[in-house]
Structure 1
Amino acid sequence: MKKLRPRRSDKEEQNQQEQKETKEISGFRDYPLTVDKILTWASYAFPNNEIVYWPPGGSRASVTFSQFADRVRRVAAALMDLGLRSGKPWEFGSKIAVMEWDTLRYVDLFYAIPSIGSTLFTVNIRLAPHEVMYTMSIAKPDALVINIDDFEPFIKPILDNIKTIKLVIYMSDRSKGPSQDYGIKTVPYEELLKHEPLKEFPEIDERTPATMLFTSGTTGPPKGVYFTHRQLALHASSVTIALSYPPYNIGVKDVSMPLIPLFHVHGWGTPYVVMLSGTRKYVLPGRYDWGHILRLIHDEGVTYTGGVPTILYVLLTHPDSSKYDLRGLRFGNGGSAMPEGLYNAAKARGIIVASGYGMTETAPVLTMAYLRPEYLNWSEDEKKQLVLRTGLPIPLVQLRVVDEQDNDVPMDGKTIGELVVWSPWIAKEYLDDPEKTRNAWRNGWFHTGDVAVWFPDGYIFIVDRLKDVIKSGGEWISSVKLESIISTHPAVGEVAVIGVPHEKWGERPVAIVVPKPGERITEDEIRNYLMQFVGRGEIPKWWLPDKIIIVEAELPKTSTGKIDKKLLRDRFKDEFT
């Protein structure tokens, strides 16, 4: 029998009508979390803060936050007039692929494209050409914005294969135009900047996809993910808060030049974070030239930078490095663990280093090695152990370290498990790959594929990627730990430890070592050095690499500047056969 709802009394009917009228009369207006709100606020609160664009071999250009907001409004209006359309909650509108270095134009687009409801597709220009084409084939962009100084050879192959593209916008630092007619509507970027600016950005739903990007493809073909306005706004706010904690201490007095390419996971959120943090100057170096970057650190007074460990290594070992005083520079490390030897070399130059962690799928930041108040008076050696860890979750992130049954492992700093996370800005899905999506999202938590230990105070340390951890005789060996120890040898410049197939043990560790410039080192010297750590109980003897290979050339890197262990495993896979 159908259960009837009780009839509402006349008084209840009257109250409901009064509430409805109150809502209509009050003029309440919802506030979607969209990236244009970041720009509007920052250009009002810090109108005279500065964005500097100074490419190698070029001249210095500068705009204030207020002038930058005007640029964005002009570009946004022009894109709308070119027919680019808005998306809907969790549904794409126009998708705009961008191939560019770290330029002022690129930062324009980080705001202008999402602010009209379209989606910014940041193309990883360090991928191999066939991988770039692969990502394009999945993304199916409607328009292409491209730096023709360096990437014009890509245009024809892209247009020949990606038939969804109906518009090309070209950019140049050399007042260069296309070398041929591509048979498609082609517009110079400078024309966009001449457009009458938008008075108001259109109101769009905060769940509209704002950006699209792809993983670097170290474990297979690149995987596509996308992020909504709400996700990006919350991520940027949380990172800004965490960066204000020691030892980062980023605020309104700082000059920021992060060395994370803008095509790589939003440059770790930099275009939005610099606005929210009130950074007095944001420096964009164009295409990375390390001598030029060292000069910019000096001439622009850069106080904060960051990137993968390889970038710090290059800054310290570049032939021009000794010309510059780097004392007080703060370096935010991410992408892979900071080797202790590199940390020591940076500290000797007066650089303050602290680590963090994230993934392409997480927009990217999840943790940072900030210091709790009770640790501020610790000795430098004690603090070092904390800032070299992967850190604590930044605001709004929850994490656990779990076993194969998704049960929490003990918080003892020893028991290894997989890191699983939950936060507002984790990608909802992989593009066109429901199987990978299901595998990553299990039991309501995102499984990172990273192996970690959990300390009693809540800090975590990433021991390895699941794909990189060495499985020997049924036990795990941390390549990260071995690399960190070997890196402390005074003659070691770079090091990678990989697992190589072994008939008896399944896998055994092999270390590939690059000496510092002008240094010589032997396998026996490295082995004897490692025995000191065995004697002190820091690593078990069975962890010692079965082979130590000394090479003179620098180690191969991925498109994001990390050591390419996949390539090394392929190269040395027959060492024990």
Structure 2
Amino acid sequence: MIQTKLIPRTAEAIEPPMLIKNLLAQSLKYEPHREIIYRDLFRMNYVEFNRRVRQLANVLTERGIGPGDTVAVFDWDSHRYLECFFGVTSLGAVLHTVNVRLSSAQILYTMNHAQDKAVLIHEDFLPILNAVRGQLTTVDEFILLSDKVYTGEEPAIPAGFAGEYEHLLKSASDVYAFPDFDEDTWATTFYTTGTTGNPKGVYFSHRQLFMHTMGLMTYLCGYQAVPFSSVQDVYMPITPMFHVHAWGFPFLATMLSTKQIYPGRYEPEMLLKLLMKEGVTISHCVPTILNMLVNSPVAKQVDLSRWKVIIGGSALTKGLAKAALDLGIQVYQGYGMSETAPVMSITHLNDLERQLPIDQQVDLRTRAGRIAPFIEMRLMDDNGNFVPHDGHSIGEVVARGPWLTQGYYEDPERGSELWKGGWLHTGDVASLTPDNWLQIADRTKDVIKTGGEWVSSLDIEDLLSQVEGVAEAAVVGFPDERWGERPHALIVQKPDAGLTVAGIKASLQAKIDQGHLNKWYLPDQIVFVPEIPKTSVGKIDKKRIRSEMKTLILG
């Protein structure tokens, strides 16, 4: 870093730190009457929301939770979770968003590793807690979250719990002055699983989450990558709030005092009901959820033309994109990872590209997006050399930016591996165009090496998704004595599609015969399955598929 001349500072001058409480403060400035809604059970405006956040801070403080303490949350996507995003962190405490889809053993590990001191838990998840409660080493306080209080029922309070969330809030003072502290203070943590070892603790500071919010606002509200207007838009996440803070969108929506809808447990009927009743215009989800909604009979009976959906977690295939666009849904692809908070790119159509017919936009909308503001992204080969951004050369995606995690909690070795050479290594292989379009080829561990060629499993999945009658597809490499590896595919077909293996192969073979497709892309075997294994956050679980390959493929 070069030597520069720093600005002189007046002793009395104050420069407020970038804190989450300052994002919250904006929500009262311009549109405090707008609503935050939970299913069909609870509604409030931003005045009430701010009051409840202060009450939550008092509830926690009265129970000994202070700066540096970790508070774990088990909940569906709800207004309560949103209150924790602000109430816990603005105390100077650390919010641990627990992945409820992990195994009991993994959840126990993460809670003890994070040194959780208090637990806020929905009654639906009490069986998980009961399985590990006797082995928790640091938890002192338990608070119950229940939907029964919104229907006039009295929830049963388990032994050892301080009480039920709503009752505790009502009895707490709504006066609380959130303190200033260093913007590099630890704000949130959650755990991401890999192929080996225990889950890794990812962590973010107030400054990082503040800057991620500024980056989202710049890209969505300024550059209009996915047009976001606090006046016209209604936001509903369909990505779990435990997964990278629902991709950071709740922070942005709250800062802008946007109308927000929280759907709780994901149920197609409830999602579509809220979508129509509350006028939802912008959401984000993994392809699995969009596929479920697109194929719901109700979807074809309602007007979805105002709905914008950002897809992440897995690749948006052309088949799914076309199905969504046919229903009027404006779909966009985003890219990032748990360690990047997560947004690093989102589909951005420039003035010329927006004029293309919608069917010609599919190729652009299914790329991984254009690089987000303030993110520096490069491609690197196995020797640490940078690869040209010519749209053809491929390399591992590496990145720098103001909101990327600095490592893994109490795991310096894996943190150093993540940041080898001063760049965050994603493990994704991609190409970059001169005008900043990112196209993911595959995960480094999922690229299929066959007959001397590198074949993208994502490309084959994309081709299969375009075959009429295919609902979902997953492709993995399987060892082959002659060719090294060969692609094998799992297919979920739409109801009454009547697909055959021969028919699918013939469709792909026609593209090969016409010179549109390399012969190496034709899967050796195609197996029809009722569902494709998914990870805890809805991604195709290729690790599990490989482990079950002998059963799924070879029989």
**TM-based fold match above 0.5:** yes
Q: Identify which range, 288-297 or 60-69, moves more after superposition.
A: 60-69
1:153 aligns with 2:127: yes
Shift of 1:432: 2.3
TM-score by length of structure 2 reads: 0.93
The equivalent residue for 2:184 is: 207
The equivalent position to 1:349 in structure 2, one of 327, 349, 356, is 327
- Secondary structure at the aligned position of 2:261 is classed as strand
Specify every segment of 5 or more residues in structure 1 that has no aligned partner in the other structure, as ranges.
Answer: 1-18, 87-92
- Secondary structure at the aligned position of 1:275 is classed as helix
Please list the CA deviations of residues 73-96 of structure 1 after superposition, one character each: whole Å capped at 9, or x if unmatched: 11112212221121xxxxxx1001
1:49 aligns with 2:30: no
Structure 1 distance, partners of 2:229, 2:289, is: 23
Structure 2 distance, partners of 1:384, 1:79, is: 48
Q: 1:131-146 alignment to 2 at 5 Å? A: 131-146=106-121
Shift of 1:162: 1.3
Structure 2 distance, partners of 1:519, 1:351, is: 23
- Secondary structure at the aligned position of 2:363 is classed as helix
Shift of 1:464: 0.9
Structure 2 distance, partners of 1:344, 1:383, is: 10
Q: Identify which range, 224-233 or 423-432, moves more after superposition.
A: 423-432
The equivalent residue for 1:85 is: 66
The equivalent residue for 1:459 is: 437
Structure 1 distance, partners of 2:197, 2:513, is: 40
Structure 2 distance, partners of 1:503, 1:363, is: 41
Structure 2 distance, partners of 1:484, 1:365, is: 23
Contact kept? 2:104, 2:131, Cα under 8 Å: no
Q: 1:189-268 alignment to 2 at 5 Å? A: 189-190=165-166, 191-217=168-194, 221-244=198-221, 245-246=223-224, 248-252=226-230, 253-268=232-247
Change (3 A) 1:201 1:125: same
The equivalent residue for 1:187 is: 163
1:530 aligns with 2:508: yes
Q: Identify which range, 262-271 or 128-137, moves more after superposition.
A: 128-137
Please list the CA deviations of residues 272-328 of structure 1 after superposition, one character each: whole Å capped at 9, or x if unmatched: 01123442x100011111111111111111111111111110001124333322123
1:550 aligns with 2:528: yes
Structure 1 distance, partners of 2:132, 2:169, is: 23
1:512 aligns with 2:486: no
Change (3 A) 1:220 1:313: farther
Contact kept? 1:32, 1:206, Cα under 8 Å: yes
Please list the CA deviations of residues 454-499 of structure 1 after superposition, one character each: whole Å capped at 9, or x if unmatched: 1232211111111221122443210111101110111111100111
TM-score by length of structure 1 reads: 0.90
Please list the CA deviations of residues 6-31 of structure 1 after superposition, one character each: whole Å capped at 9, or x if unmatched: xxxxxxxxxxxxx99x824xx31121
Contact kept? 2:370, 2:438, Cα under 8 Å: yes
Please list the CA deviations of residues 471-530 of structure 1 after superposition, one character each: whole Å capped at 9, or x if unmatched: 224432101111011101111111001111222322210011111111111111111111
Q: Identify which range, 403-412 or 255-264, moves more after superposition.
A: 403-412
- Secondary structure at the aligned position of 1:45 is classed as coil
Shift of 1:270: 2.1
Structure 2 distance, partners of 1:427, 1:189, is: 31
Specify every segment of 5 or more residues in structure 2 that has no aligned partner in the other structure, as ranges.
Answer: 1-6
Work out the number of aligned pairs and report it: 541
1:286 aligns with 2:241: no
> Looking at CA atoms only, which structure, 1 or 2, has the larger radius of gyration?
1
The equivalent position to 1:435 in structure 2, one of 407, 413, 416, is 413
Structure 1 distance, partners of 2:58, 2:213, is: 25
Percent identity, please: 39
The equivalent residue for 1:23 is: 10
- Secondary structure at the aligned position of 1:202 is classed as coil
Shift of 1:447: 0.3
- Secondary structure at the aligned position of 1:495 is classed as strand
Structure 2 distance, partners of 1:172, 1:472, is: 53
- Secondary structure at the aligned position of 1:197 is classed as coil
Matched to 2:29, the amino acid is: Y
Change (3 A) 1:217 1:318: farther
Change (3 A) 1:500 1:221: farther
The equivalent residue for 1:571 is: 548
Structure 1 distance, partners of 2:395, 2:196, is: 20
Change (3 A) 1:219 1:49: farther
Q: Identify which range, 417-426 or 432-441, moves more after superposition.
A: 432-441
The equivalent position to 2:481 in structure 1, one of 497, 503, 506, is 503
Structure 1 distance, partners of 2:393, 2:71, is: 45
Structure 2 distance, partners of 1:456, 1:536, is: 30
1:127 aligns with 2:91: no
Structure 1 distance, partners of 2:514, 2:159, is: 68
Matched to 1:264, the amino acid is: H
Instruction: Provide the alpha-carbon RMSD of the alignment.
Output: 2.0
Matched to 1:76, the amino acid is: A
The equivalent residue for 1:107 is: 82
Please list the CA deviations of residues 102-127 of structure 1 after superposition, one character each: whole Å capped at 9, or x if unmatched: 11111100000000000000000111
The equivalent residue for 2:55 is: 74
1:387 aligns with 2:387: no
Change (3 A) 1:242 1:277: farther
